[in-house]
Amino acid sequence: MTELEKFQQYQWHQPRDKALSQLRQSAAEVCRRYTQQPTQGHQKKIWQLFAERGPRLWLDAGFSCDYGCNIYLGDNIYCNQNVLLQDVGRISIGDNVLIGPGCHIYTAEHPQDAEARRSGLTRGQAVNIAEDVWIGGQAIILPGVSIGRGAIIGAGAVVTRDIPAGHKALGNPARSTPLKAP
């Protein structure tokens, strides 16, 4: 099995592999060009990176991703400035999601054993964000996390665990509480 095939199946793989390095370099170049000149032509190239996307997507300058091919986006998504989707694993984002400036979503996992970690092996853990979620600026979502429908992630929160639907999560590590009805 090639490193690319292992990557595609979210298995332990070597990201230094030539094919994977080329994919990352290509995605980085597309993101860099869009940030320098957010023209419609460069926007179309970013959109082509994604595995799936809804018809309404807004990306502010500074958007970046590792590969793009593991990103699945619903409709009516807004990513503010300097958002990073580190998509070694699958990132699924539902409809009507707001992502604040400087947010980072991580999916890469590395071996916990130091000797194994030196090998550079990586694998992806999916992050799932349901519909109608609002993620405040500078929030960080860690690998393997799911965020339920209508949840709010506070600015600067570090989300280490799943957040249920209809909850807000604040702090580092983020702790969730039910949202109060208006």
Tokens 């709010």 belong to residue: 152
Element holding 3 (H helix, E strand): helix 3-8
Place of tokens 């280490």: 160
Encoding tokens for residue 141? 């979502």
**Is-contact 100 139, C-beta < 8 A?**
yes
Q: Is 167 a catalytic residue?
A: no
- Name the active-site residue from 13, 42, 104, 110: 110
Question: What token pair was written down for 176?
Answer: 């969730």
Residue 43 backbone phi and psi in degrees, to 5: -65, -45
| CB proximity list for 116: less than 8 A, separation 6 or greater | none
Catalytic center residues: 110
